[in-house]
Structure 1
Amino acid sequence: MILDKTCIVLLACNDYESTQLTVANLLKYTPENIPIYFLPNNITDNFDSDKVREIGMFYSNLYPNRVIYVNWVTPSFPYQALGDLIYSEQLEKYDYICKIDDDVFPITSDWIEELAKCFEKHENDKLGYVTGLINNNPWGFAELVSLMNLQDEYKMLVPKVTIAGKNMKGYMKQEQIIYPEIGRGGFGTVWQYPHLARWIHEKTTFRPEEFINATKGLESKEIDNHLRYSIGCVLFRKSSWAKVYNGSKTDEKMWHIYSKDNNMHNYAALNVPMVHLFFYNQRLSNKSILDRAYETFRNFANDQLVLLWDNSASCKTNFIEERLRQQEYRIKSSQKKLVTTIRKFKNYARYRYFRKW
């Protein structure tokens, strides 16, 4: 089975609250023999990135054989760093990579095995990648509305005509979607409207048993390779990445172009339910779901999620205070540097003036 030569690569950016919940659930539902490489990816030097690094170091120290904190790859553009990692000496023994974003996580203990089975089933079909059934995902959202018989409720939440897509010259354009159609491609319906993401979270994320039961026993389904699929989790051959990577900012655009141009076949294992917390444009509108997500999955795991911090209200207050202290320190440091610079300039100007005489 390909799992013997598979590792997980977690791309961690600046969202420390989502990252912690993702790693905790990965550890809960992933076999211990499959390593998780924690890659700090495209992060900035601020409070949020400090917390992300703390998470990576905490879990790698606690589970040194399961979580590997990647410190040998030079910080770079998001997917340049991914390529540097997967082709590094440390990952030499792996032939398959399961890339997962820092706000996407599984909720079943057989998730990676089922992805591997799906991959093996279609490996001879000019296969690009396999993925799970991700709820807050344009393609996955449309599937779940149908699978869970949510069409009538969905109709109450949207007008007859909605928009999907994005105007990107020479690549894609915005389009109108007429009900009952749902935009499945890049920047699709659920991406456009944060209230729909909250709604599907109510039906799936906050009711994990119902989400699992709705997807149990389902087969895989091919994803139209002319669609830009929003990739939160993807299992692929390591050797494919050199063909896929073209320097774009997102892997979904790179996979889309590669799959369409080479007629590659990509599949979703519909029996692998997965949660995606936010798209970047939903974070502010929907951040309130984090408290419920933490509570839901702590309860769902019978309080067996291992967390660095508990994400309680008092914890968040402490973080706000710490963030303010850091800001205060940086402001004072900047002021001191400015005063020193001005003093040096004055001394230099005085020296130049008296030197004339």
Structure 2
Amino acid sequence: MRMVIDAEGVFDGTGPKLALGVLRYRSDDVVAVIDSAHSGRTARDRTADPRVPPVPVVDGLDAALRYRPDTFVVGISPMQSTLPAGLRGRILAAFEAKLDVVCGLHHQLGDDPELAAAADRAGRRIWDLRRPPQQDVQVGTGGRTHRPGSRTVLAVGSDCNAGKMTTMVELDREAARRGLSSRFVATGQTGILIAGDGVPADHVVADFLPTLLHQHVCAATDEHDLVFVEGQAALNHPWYSGVSLGLLHGAAPDALVLCHWAGARELGHLPLPIPPLPEVVAMNEAATRWGGGPAARVVAIALATGHLSESAAADALAEASEETGLPAVDVFRSGPAALLDAVLASGR
């Protein structure tokens, strides 16, 4: 793919998540970012992130076409079920320019008569990242279990946007660098675009989510020794805890990594307190036993400290470790090596 990411009006340096995730983890495939408010800069300048490539930020699709993209990626992530104003026209323009379109919104482009017809006329493909896999699902495990000797690790969080996908991708890549057999299992739209497939947890019928994820995880353990499963949201979040619990039961993890935004005291979407980290650890460990699967322990804290100074980050990591009795690591500041060491040590 040669992707142009549409982040019109929202490429603020810290988001949107899908745009940043693709820029970090499929950097060789991105040729430009669209945001008219910041045209003339580069994505690296805008994010101040050395992992982001210095691709140009341009003011629209016409300018992006100079870089010969073949795929238009909807990079925005609004909390709504309909297409945001203006986006339909930009998607239609992408089809007119003979581009494939990738979209992770709740609105399924392939089910939209106008957009589906436009794609057919242009002979282009729609990839709805949130479209569940087309496979037969019957509630229950069907007797399938993880391959003996394999190890499945699930990221859980104290809130949304706590770094669960990033942590699992970084662990998978660190394992690959060491020559270990590993696989990242994605459960959200950004992870699916990075990995190429996965289970879009928030678009699977709730009754079938644990079973569908279990099938994917078991298939991954058949071929890999380490399986890193992307978690979603948080058990302590009243809007999204159902998805979190479905993933916890479906993954049947051997170990958990708790992801937390350093210094966060309230949920990002609601004025509700985040419980102390030991309580979050305990509730997730307890929930692994509800499904009849193996009891799993939180083996490390993945702490996001990018908004802090070096000294404040060091203090936050020390505090999290002291509070929980677990190693605390920021995979961006110090790399994922220590976090993977903790995961591997927990299985001995």
Which TM-score applies when normalising by structure 1? 0.28
Greater RCO, 1 or 2 (C-alpha within 8 Å, sep 6+): 1
Larger Rg: 1
Which TM-score applies when normalising by structure 2? 0.28
